Amino acid sequence: MAFLTWLREKRRRLWDASYMQDRHKLLTFLREAYRNQSEDVANLTQHAEQMYYPHLREQFRQIVEEEQSHVQWLREKITMLGGNVPQPSTSISRGANTWENLRRDLEEERKDDDAFLNGLHIAERLDREIADGLSRLRHDEQRHRAQLLDLLQKSEPDAVPSSSSQSEDMERQKQSWLAHQKMVWLEQRRSLWEADGKPIPWAEWIARREYEWTANELPNRELHWARRLTKQAATDILVPRVSEKM
C-alpha cells in the first residue's frame, strides 16, 4: 500500500514538473509572439500610410486591424497565465520604397507562421482554448501573407497582372514552371532524406514536404515568377524606345 502511495506521488510530481515546464514554454512563446505582432502592427501601420493607391491602402489597413486584434488576444492570454506583458520595440522597418516595405512585411508574416506552428504544438498539450486561438491566428497569418503577396505584385512599378487577368497561355506557362520547380525541390529533399537513412516513414515525410512547399516554398516561387515577368515587361518597353531613338 505504501509503495502504491509512493508511486502515485511520484507520478503526480512528474506530471506537475512536466506541466510547469510546458506552461513556461507556452508563456515564453506568447510573450515573444506578442512582441513580434506588436512590431508588425507598427510597421504595417506605417507602410499602409505610404501606399499610393487608396484602394490598396484600405486593403492594407484591414490587415492591420486584424493584426491588432491578435496583439490584444495575446496580451489577454499572457495576463491569464500570470506573465508580464513585454515592451515591444519602437523602431520601424523602412525600405527604399513601397515595394521593399511589402517584401519585408511578407517575410515577417512567413516567420510568424512558423512561430505560431511551434506555439500551437505546445498549447495542444496544455490548454485547448489557447490552442484553438493560436490556430485561428495562424490561419489569419497565412491569409495575410497571401494578401501581402497580391499587394506586392500590384504595387511594383510595371506590376504583372494577377493570375485572374493573365492570358490562359501565360497561366499554363506559370503552372508548368511551378510544377518543374516543385519536382526539382522534392528530388533534392528526397536525396537528403535517403542520405539520412530515411528516419521517418515515406507517408509522413511527403506530408511534411507538401506542407513546407505550400507554406514556404510556393509563395517564394510565385514571387520570383512575378518579378521575372516584370523585368521582361520592362525590357519589352525599353527596347522599342531605344529603337525609336536610333
Write down the domain spans for the chain.
1-156, 164-246
Between CA 133 and CA 117 the distance in angstroms is: 12
In this predicted structure, what is the pLDDT of residue 69? 94
The pLDDT tens digits along the chain (246 residues) read 554 554 455 455 444 555 677 788 888 889 999 998 999 898 888 888 877 777 778 888 899 999 999 999 999 999 988 888 888 776 777 777 777 888 888 888 887 777 788 888 888 888 888 889 988 998 888 888 888 888 877 765 544 444 444 466 777 788 888 888 888 898 898 888 888 888 888 878 887 888 888 878 888 888 888 777 766 655 554 444 444 444
The domain made up of 1-156 has a fold known as: Ferritin (1.20.1260)
The conformation of residue 196, written as its DSSP 8-state character, comes to T
Could you identify the residue written with the cell 491566428?
137
In this predicted structure, what is the pLDDT of residue 7? 44
In this predicted structure, what is the pLDDT of residue 237? 46
Quick one: cell of 103?
A: 517584401
Model's pTM, two decimal places? 0.57
Output the CA–CA distances (angstroms, integers) from residue 105 to 93, 95, 98, 102, 132, in the order listed: 9, 10, 11, 5, 25
